[in-house]
Structure 1
Amino acid sequence: MTNKRIFISADHGLAVVYFLQTDVLPTLLKGGVEVVLLTDDGLVEQIQRRFGQPGLIVEGLRLKQARHYFETHDHSTQYWLHFLRWMGGSRRINTNAMDGHLRQMQHETSRRGKLLMPFIRAATAVLRRSAVARRALVNFQMRYTPQIYGDLFEKYRPALVVASTPGWRFDRYLLREAVRQGICTATAIIGWDNPSSYRLPGAPVDYITCWSEIQKEELVLGSDWQPERVNIGGIPAYDGYFRKQWQMSREEYFALHGLDPQRKLLAYASSFVTFAPNYPNIEALARLVAEDRLAYPAQLLIRLHPNHFIPGSLYEKEAQRVRQLVGELPHVHLVEPVPLGGELGYYSGEDMPEKSSMMAHADVFLTVYSTMVVETAIHDRPIVSVCIDTPGGWNTPGKFSLALSEIAEWPTHLRFRQAGAGRVALNPEQVREAVNFYLTQPDADREARRRFVEREVTFTDGSAGRRTAEYLLSLV
């Protein structure tokens, strides 16, 4: 008798980590199901070589076909449906993050888009107030279900289809096909800010598993999920942090990057490069270190953001400026994320030892409210969110900029501040003060960090992967 099968869509590097580099896959296989992993077509052989084992089948996700359908079949309608799903969640929860993206669209859209924006804003206002309108939007999009995956469904006959988003990306076409065939669907929340930054699903999805009670509330109140269909399973990708399975020794890590063991380590992880430059934050820190203006001799290790590698972008140009700065100043070093390849980009499981070690061995960790504030709190290191504004932002015609000082009320950012899990610095002098505070008082805010982690990720014993897989098995 053939085992039941589960389709898993891993259309992002972090999804590969979530499903393949945690206890999720082993628990599913031990539970007696076969897993058909759908991922970037160009990486099928690579992933099969690395993760191949009995019970795991790797197939292409056919992203090129999905993109072609999106771009050639009622493209304008599909485009605005996607935008309305993104912006149109209920106003019962904090909408500040979505409001920022709405302002960006108003500024950056085409001339025709600007003419449509009053209607889009009006539709968004209706959606935020009406659950009936939101349900109608989710159901309406089912008419855009291409014949991309029919042969895979016929070949494998899955009992459950699992995606790493509820159809926020091109996985919507896979989920819609499953719905049309009457197959149970589920999704996993991979990102910390996903439930507050993206809202309505791209297909009618049956079940969802998330990190915490906080995310569950965001899903229920903001996106109309039924509470009994929302599972709290923690975040499997962080189990390795709690187990310290990726962490290098301090000596090994310092040798890897040519760091001075006699100097304190400041680690800065670039983030939020879409709306505002990171460069002022980086330059301020680099000069504090190079000019020895801190309480102890220090060095700076800068981590670029995956978006810094988008060819021809403003972010790529910023990365070049950072590389130039690193070459000019003493005690300033650079680490660049390792790409998985294909369309899965620079969010890669190849990078987990680097990330974990960077956080574990930093005397002070600095970023801009990124998800790494949660990850660093797990490593119990002091955290500073650096939000130095650039006059005029990107100073590029047609490019929207949002001052970093304006994002403090975004849902995840607000929770970080309210938890007291770290400090916030809005100018170079505040950066110096915050860094010196933690250099001289490294145990400050430790209890606040611990409580922050417990609220945000729920399970701190390395069991999230097993719990999540057991939930998915219960749906088969």
Structure 2
Amino acid sequence: MTTEGGSRESSPCVFVYANQGSTVRYLLRTNVLSTLEKSGARIVILAHTAEEPGFREAFESENIVVEQFALKACERYLAKSKLQRVIKLHRYFVINGRYHIQTLEDFNKIWLGEKGWGPKDRWSGKVMGLLWNGLRRLLMWSQVLRRGLIWFELEFFAPRFHRELFEKHKPDLVVVSSPGWWDYDQYLLRESRKENVRTAAVILSWDNPTSLGMAGAPVDHVVAWTDVMAKELETLHDVSKDRISIGGIAHWDPYYEPNTHMDRQSLFHLLGLDPERKTLFFATKSPTRFPWAPEITENIARGIQDGRFNESLQLLVRLHPIYFRRINGELRHQRLLEAFSSIEERYPFVVVNKPDLRSDVLNCDLSRDEARLIASILKNSDVMVNMFSTMVIEAAVFDLPAVNLAVAAGFDPLDKGRSRQDIQIDYIQTHNQRVIQTGGVRNVFSMDELFDAVNAYLRDPSLDAEGRAEIRRVETGPFRGFAGRKIGEHLLSFAQQSSSSVEKYSDD
């Protein structure tokens, strides 16, 4: 790594905080990191898993080092303060109240139901719910109060756990993956402000601005996917327009590199698919939000077996990475994984594909090659079924007909309004409705409707092509194929600005 005595002007130092698998995937396993590295910037990765076998070896180089983030210290600091935890919870459900965002309204209602503070609970719970919503509404309708809350946390809940690392490396920029939504972005952002170091948040997902509440700390720059996301950050999250840059979608860059995609024969050989059959691709949802995907898979398999489809079909099931979440080393969803294995054994035309995960600790840390595999699957499938995810947008990149499946499966109607496992919640979410309104995806509410929608697309794949084109136009962002490079260039530009110009946080 470049020596500490080197010129800061010629080789700025950038801290990159790797607090979750999605962050590692988006910032470190794309051209974001390689762009920073090739520039000669000195990069320090602050990682929760610095000591996990293979992590240092994967990323350290001449000008990249990995340092351990003070995870345990942050956990203890948050756990000892009830006031911090209450403020954090309130922030989660608060945005600019001049805009109605159905997603956050539903999440707030569900949380109150889980606490027993809903309108149908006993009187003491109702009172707590009224107090909660009253404070929430005050924050939503007053930007001054929202800014005041951020200032309060900055002044009174800003631990300095990484002072030695700031002194050792003297960073010019600290990069996180949210403006304080994910733990422990908020502490590192506050600490950076105390150290007078510029900060940048690179947003990870299309639904973050409409699914997550107000910032947990001031941030100097925010990098959005698209113009739509930039507008959401400005209007919902009080981020001034001049602090927002648009970078595109870094982990989708391989989608625009056709020479790296597998052809049909190679893909089918790799996955064990039958080249004589058409392919129905089922992209599963996180089992935390929908644990009934094995039942859906079996229902589709029976439909194929019983001749419910007009074509000879095979079913390719892609498991969400959260199926492989571990707690104390044990797979949390082992029962569901065994159910998928059983279905695959009983139906020869069902293939279950598992993601290639790089970490046993971080969720969703996918290998770099996974994007190329997904691209190859989308390119060579005939229809995709999913449950309201970014996969609808990804399918549109390849003009692949897609169906949103909204079937209750094993969800208990008595839990309606008290659980996020209600798939109808997803159907009406703000970001999903934006895509649905394009007409580029069909939405079905029973298995019979699913069979009909798939058959319609098999007969005529051009159905809803105009809607898919609209999804591509609005949701896939600029810099297609080189978004990682563009985001890296944005970060370099921020790092090269004088740290002395870091603005003091105020109500102005």
Assess same fold via TM > 0.5: yes
- Cα displacement (A) at 1:240: 1.3
Q: Residue 349 of structure 1: which of 367, 372, 377 is its match?
A: 367
C-alpha separation in 2, matches of 1:151 and 1:396: 49
State whether structure 2 residue 371 is matched by structure 1 residue 359.
no
Residue 484 of structure 2 corresponds to which residue in structure 1?
A: 465
Any residues of structure 2 matched to 1:26-425 within 5 Å, and which? 26-42=34-50, 46-71=54-79, 73-74=80-81, 76-109=82-115, 116-142=128-154, 143-169=156-182, 170-244=184-258, 247-279=261-293, 280-310=295-325, 317-350=335-368, 351-390=370-409, 392-393=411-412, 400-425=419-444
C-alpha separation in 1, matches of 2:78 and 2:300: 43
Q: Deviations over 1:336-388 (max 9, x none)?
A: 22322143223413533332332222111111111111122112211111111
C-alpha contact (below 8 Å) 2:319/2:355 kept by paired residues: yes
C-alpha separation in 1, matches of 2:393 and 2:345: 31
C-alpha contact (below 8 Å) 1:42/1:342 kept by paired residues: no
C-alpha separation in 1, matches of 2:31 and 2:390: 21
C-alpha contact (below 8 Å) 2:292/2:410 kept by paired residues: no
- Cα displacement (A) at 1:449: 1.7
AA of the residue aligned to 1:56: I
Closer, same or farther in 2 for the Cα pair 1:284/1:252, shift >3 Å? same
Comparing 144-153 and 108-117, the one that deviates more? 108-117
Q: Residue 446 of structure 2: which of 427, 436, 444 is its match?
A: 427
Comparing 270-279 and 328-337, the one that deviates more? 270-279
What SS does the corresponding residue of 2:282 show, helix, strand or coil?
strand
Comparing 34-43 and 290-299, the one that deviates more? 34-43
Gaps of 5+ in 1: none
Comparing 255-264 and 115-124, the one that deviates more? 115-124
State whether structure 2 residue 493 is matched by structure 1 residue 474.
yes
Comparing 441-450 and 369-378, the one that deviates more? 441-450
AA of the residue aligned to 1:23: N
What SS does the corresponding residue of 1:385 show, helix, strand or coil?
strand
AA of the residue aligned to 1:428: M
C-alpha separation in 2, matches of 1:100 and 1:271: 19
Gaps of 5+ in 2: 1-5, 118-123, 496-508
Q: Deviations over 1:112-154 (max 9, x none)?
A: 9987443222221222222112112222222222232111111
What SS does the corresponding residue of 1:256 show, helix, strand or coil?
helix
State whether structure 2 residue 26 is matched by structure 1 residue 18.
yes
C-alpha contact (below 8 Å) 1:392/1:401 kept by paired residues: no
Q: Deviations over 1:435-456 (max 9, x none)?
A: 0111111222333223312211
- Cα displacement (A) at 1:309: 3.2
Closer, same or farther in 2 for the Cα pair 1:311/1:109, shift >3 Å? farther
What SS does the corresponding residue of 1:407 show, helix, strand or coil?
helix
Closer, same or farther in 2 for the Cα pair 1:93/1:251, shift >3 Å? farther
C-alpha separation in 2, matches of 1:358 and 1:126: 48
- Cα displacement (A) at 1:37: 1.4
What SS does the corresponding residue of 1:66 show, helix, strand or coil?
helix
Closer, same or farther in 2 for the Cα pair 1:97/1:349, shift >3 Å? farther
- Cα displacement (A) at 1:230: 0.7
C-alpha contact (below 8 Å) 1:38/1:61 kept by paired residues: yes
C-alpha contact (below 8 Å) 1:290/1:332 kept by paired residues: no
Closer, same or farther in 2 for the Cα pair 1:273/1:41, shift >3 Å? closer
C-alpha separation in 2, matches of 1:314 and 1:58: 29
AA of the residue aligned to 1:121: N
C-alpha contact (below 8 Å) 1:41/1:62 kept by paired residues: no
Q: TM-score, normalised by structure 2?
A: 0.86
Query: Percent of aligned positions with the same letter in both sequences?
Result: 30
Comparing 117-126 and 317-326, the one that deviates more? 317-326
Greater Rg by CA:
2
Closer, same or farther in 2 for the Cα pair 1:472/1:295, shift >3 Å? same
Closer, same or farther in 2 for the Cα pair 1:467/1:58, shift >3 Å? same
C-alpha separation in 1, matches of 2:211 and 2:457: 31
- Cα displacement (A) at 1:175: 1.2
Closer, same or farther in 2 for the Cα pair 1:127/1:397, shift >3 Å? closer
Q: Deviations over 1:282-306 (max 9, x none)?
A: 3332222232310101011112223
What SS does the corresponding residue of 2:428 show, helix, strand or coil?
coil
C-alpha separation in 2, matches of 1:22 and 1:324: 35
What SS does the corresponding residue of 2:361 show, helix, strand or coil?
helix
- Cα displacement (A) at 1:197: 0.7
- Cα displacement (A) at 1:260: 0.9
Closer, same or farther in 2 for the Cα pair 1:410/1:37, shift >3 Å? same
C-alpha contact (below 8 Å) 2:16/2:46 kept by paired residues: yes
AA of the residue aligned to 2:351: H
C-alpha contact (below 8 Å) 2:379/2:398 kept by paired residues: yes
C-alpha separation in 2, matches of 1:395 and 1:352: 39
Closer, same or farther in 2 for the Cα pair 1:56/1:398, shift >3 Å? same
What SS does the corresponding residue of 1:343 show, helix, strand or coil?
coil
C-alpha separation in 2, matches of 1:21 and 1:41: 15
AA of the residue aligned to 2:363: G
Comparing 282-291 and 319-328, the one that deviates more? 319-328
Q: TM-score, normalised by structure 1?
A: 0.91
Closer, same or farther in 2 for the Cα pair 1:117/1:315, shift >3 Å? farther
C-alpha separation in 2, matches of 1:439 and 1:400: 35
What SS does the corresponding residue of 1:325 show, helix, strand or coil?
helix
C-alpha separation in 2, matches of 1:144 and 1:15: 24
RMSD: 2.7
